Amino acid sequence: MILKMNLGPNSYDIVIKKGAYNKMNEEIKAVYDKQKIYIITDSNVGPLYLDKIKNELHDFKVYSVCVEAGEQSKSFETYKEVLTKLLDLEIKRGELLIALGGGVIGDLTGFVASSIYRGNPYIQIPTSLLAQMDSSIGGKTGIDFYGRKNIIGAFKQPLKVIIDPNALETLPKVEFNNGMGELIKHGCIGNRKLLDMLLNSDVKITEEIIYESLCVKKNIVEIDPFDLNERMFLNFGHTFGHIVELDGHLRHGEAVANGMLMAIQMGIDLGLTNPSCYDTLKKILLKYDLPIKNYDYKEIIKNTVYDKKNIAGEVSFILISDFGAVFAKKISESELLNYECKN
């Protein structure tokens, strides 16, 4: 399946195909006419897929840089390490980088690509569920700094995204859950069909499920490529999710899953959300084995005043009136500190 991201001169194809790694040479030749390629990967993904992909790229001269797996590699130290290795390998202006890995490798490689020679092309080969259904498209790249996530970065769209769902077979369960929370979020904010597919299919990620999930992000990115407005809808479940993530027991996607239930409960209490959404969402989350903790949003709502989306004393809550119908409701800091539900 091919999905096209329409962004004028920065448009690109997103190829979603089981076995896509076997056709890597053709996929890359279709968009890149130089000889050298530099693959950035991590210490978990590299041993699993690097040799296979290098062997497939028989028309190119392929170099690789492997960094430690994990969020700590989205750092200035690793950014410097990657740049140093690339320059030692004598990378030239216009030569292609490939991000082979999860969202960490995608964000780091994209940022390196955006800054080396003021911008070399890069291709995303996402291997985690989160990267396949979300982070590999949209062009947000960056690293963490000074204790703050994604605080340094750039918008840099890839030349192509190549997704092989077969790579998910080696993904640990906890990483699968992490992506699943965000995938279900895409269904809630923009694609009722995706939720029906999740409810009615086996617990298996198909090309169609990834396609439907990516459609939601693609539609939003095309309207708001620089994250100035509609892209905030992708934060559904994140305002409450970030708070429960802080106690360290839940991965990000699991916290978002709980955050979505809280946002729906809040919307129901305010008379803004169709009450049936709560049970349907809970059923899907349980089917995919996401840990549901039954948090009461009223007990933690005061903490949302510290959310990074608190702008000039107002927090934007992303709510849905029904599946596929998302909106923002602003609530002032003073209302939040004395929050009482109106029902």
Ligand X SMILES: NC(=O)c1ccc[n+]([C@@H]2O[C@H](COP(=O)([O-])OP(=O)(O)OC[C@H]3O[C@@H](n4cnc5c(N)ncnc54)[C@H](O)[C@@H]3O)[C@@H](O)[C@H]2O)c1
Which residues of the chain form contacts with ligand X (CB under 6 A)?
A: 42, 44-45, 48, 69-71, 74, 101-105, 107, 127-128, 130-131, 134-135, 138, 140, 149-150, 167, 170-171, 175, 178
Residue 107 or 245 having the CB closest to ligand X: 107
> Least CB distance from residue 46 to ligand X, whole Å?
9
**Do the strands 61-67 and 36-42 form a parallel or antiparallel pair, or are they unpaired?**
parallel
Contacts 24+ apart (CB under 8 A), 279-287: 280/195, 280/199, 280/323, 281/184, 281/188, 283/199, 284/184, 284/187, 284/195, 284/198, 284/199, 285/181, 285/184, 285/257, 285/261, 287/198, 287/199, 287/203
> Least CB distance from residue 52 to ligand X, whole Å?
12
Contacts of 55 (CB under 8 A, 6+ apart): none
Residue 105 or 209 having the CB closest to ligand X: 105
Residue 178 or 273 having the CB closest to ligand X: 178
Give me 275's structure tokens.
């009450």
> Least CB distance from residue 271 to ligand X, whole Å?
32
Residue 74 or 186 having the CB closest to ligand X: 74
> Least CB distance from residue 50 to ligand X, whole Å?
12
Residue 120 or 178 having the CB closest to ligand X: 178
- Rg of the chain over all Cα atoms, to the nearest angstrom: 20
> Least CB distance from residue 262 to ligand X, whole Å?
20
